[in-house]
Structure 1
Amino acid sequence: MKILARLLPLLAAFSLLTAVNGAGATEPPLKFGVGLFQPDRDKNDATYRPLADYLSARLDRPVQLRTVDSWEGLAKSLANGETDIALMGPWGYVLANHQAGAQVISTILYDGKPEYFAITITHPDSGINSLADLKGKTFAFGDKGSTSGYLIPLHYMMTQGITPEKYFGKVIHTSHQAIETQVTQRQLDAGADYNRNRNAMIEQGLIKAEDSKIIWTSPPLPNDAFAVSAALAGDKELIGKLQAALGAVGEALKDNPRLLPAHYTGFVSRDNSFYKPIRDAGLATGKLQAK
């Protein structure tokens, strides 16, 4: 009994300590998937790690960054639970939304704007001035999860009665950076890209403006989506915190310009309806099946 009497205070103290530690326990990490916006994985990780660290501090919760090599792969990873939150291209987001209920909560801003443009480029000396001049030529798309590199130019071609595999002499799929580089080096006759990538590569000295020309530009398209998995979409408290943190990025950039790559100026809250043009293109091309 004396031993038990001595143990009781210790047991009580242990119970109290356990309760306190349990109440303050760290929440599980949020797995943050990011598309391959940069030329390689290491550079991509370095570019977006400051944003992951910023979100971790604002949410008071660990955020683990994970670069996914393809837009299609990122959509699948958000759908199957390998990532919880993601910064992804518009078409990748629409796929993840359609297939597994992922939900956009914010759209990234580029020079203050939430929209961008798909383009088709060729070399100025190619003699090519329109799609009509590309019959029998070599054409490059981005990967099949790319909005500007695949879905939108494919949709436009279909409206013009063009089936790429029959119309072009050769069709390949590669990265946006490779398309720009190979067109300027005349290894490709033409290819699909987006204005932000071309401008960035020129600014960084990776290509020269005079070594390529734009022969087609799309209507405005919604910028990259910041999305959450279907499992998190119902967590209103977390969504509110995420939107508040993303909405404050523009102001935070004044003190920490490394939070986002050059020309990206913050985020604006948007919902699923903002991505309707991409969804419509997916349905029209048969890449999405109506539910």
Structure 2
Amino acid sequence: MLRIALLLLVTVFATGGALAADAIRLGVGLFQPDKEKNDATYRPLAEYLSKKLGKPVELRTVDSWEGLAKSLANGETDIALMGPWGYVLANNQSGAQAVATILYDGKPEYFALMITHPTSGINTLADLKGKTFAFGDKGSTSGYLIPTHQFLKMGISDPEKFFSKVLYTKHQAIETQVTRGELDAGADYDRNRNAMIEQGLIKAADSKIIWTSAPLPNDAVAVSADMMKDKAMVARLQQALEQVGAELKTNPSLLPAHYTGFVKSDDKLYSSIRDAGLATGKLQPRK
């Protein structure tokens, strides 16, 4: 099974299809504004892993965190770069395991945010009552799980009744609509907000942060339960990922701006996310 692939094959596909023999299927979430850009962004990483693992790596962009978790759980992908909550869902559903965590500016953590427009008159979370609010999709850590957990701790068990209107959409759309004044407030995360400001997609002056979470573990590289049985391959994958930081010095296109590599990790790093899932009832204990 560990034949050397002299010809690197990286095929991007949206909804499945025939796989190359012995190919490893790499699933990534929609980190970029659109699928085309996302594919282009993560294709170099797929090619790099193909070289390091000696097997074709097929890249697959999945447009929701919840969908990516299901994809890993049902065997459509072997390896996934996914948000923390998506990983916990996949682990709970199928025993998928985290083997590494991505680094952002050298750090393995980030923060969930809640934002509003500076002229909204909203200064605290209590001020959100009766306002319009946008969550990310229900597989998002910072866009859904952590804000939902925060509201629960405030005694708000049903946000649908607390707000006048609730939307579930993409992080980029949340930032755009809040800065335009089309939404009163929404949930996001610091990496996305900072990137959109840096890219000129939004202006920092057009939004303000009214809440910041405790540190959260960055996105996980998780492998399916079946792949986890191949200990030698998992070890090679972890080694390849740990070498990305050094590789970026000569091949900066391997990861998007500010991402500086990977660090070896495991399921324990994501225990706080699991605790939030259990507390909100969004995750049921495994039997």
Which category describes the TM-score, using the shorter chain as reference length?
over 0.9
Structure 1 stretches of 5 or more lacking a match? 1-21
Equivalent position of 1:188 in the other structure: 183
Equivalent of 2:217 in 212, 217, 222: 222
* Structure 1 counterpart SS, 2:67: helix
Give the residue type in structure 2 aligned to 1:115: E
Partner residue in 1 for 2:228: 233
- Is contact 2:129-2:163 (8 Å) kept? yes
Distance 2:26 2:129 in 1: 42
**Residue in 2 that maps onto 1:158:** 152
Q: Which has the higher helix share?
A: 1
Q: Is 1:133 paired with 2:127?
A: yes
Q: Which amino acid aligns with 2:27?
A: G
Alignment match, 1:94: 88
Match of 1:17 in 2: none
Query: What residue in structure 2 maps to residue 80 of structure 1?
Result: 74
Normalized against structure 1, the TM-score is what? 0.91
Letter in 2 for 1:225: A
For residue 67 of structure 1, what is the aligned residue in structure 2?
A: 61
Which of 1 and 2 has greater Rg? 1
Partner deviation per Cα, 1:112-167 (whole Å, 9 max, x = no partner): 00000000000001110011111110000000000000000000000001121111
Structure 2 alignment gaps of length 5 or more:
6-20
Q: Is contact 2:26–2:46 with CA below 8 Å preserved after alignment?
A: yes
Offset of 1:23 from its aligned partner?
Answer: 9.5
Q: CA RMSD in A?
A: 1.2
Structure 2 equivalent of residue 15 of structure 1:
none
Q: TM-score of the superposition, structure 2-length normalised?
A: 0.92
Show the counterpart of 1:284: 279
Which amino acid in 1 is paired with 2:110?
Y
Contact 2:3-2:55 within 8 A present in 1 as well:
no
Counterpart Cα distance in 2 of 1:205 and 1:63: 33
Q: CA deviation at 1:234?
A: 1.6
**2-structure distance, mates of 1:132, 1:285:** 19
**Corresponding position of 1:205:** 200
CA distance in 1, matches of 2:264, 2:162: 41
**2:57 equivalent to 1:56:** no
Match of 2:263 in 1: 268
1:267 deviates by 0.2
Q: Displacement, 1:199?
A: 0.1
Instruction: Say if 1:120 and 1:255 are closer, same or farther in 2 by CA, change over 3 A.
Output: same
Q: 1:24 to 1:59 in 2, by over 3 A?
A: closer
Report the number of matched residues: 270
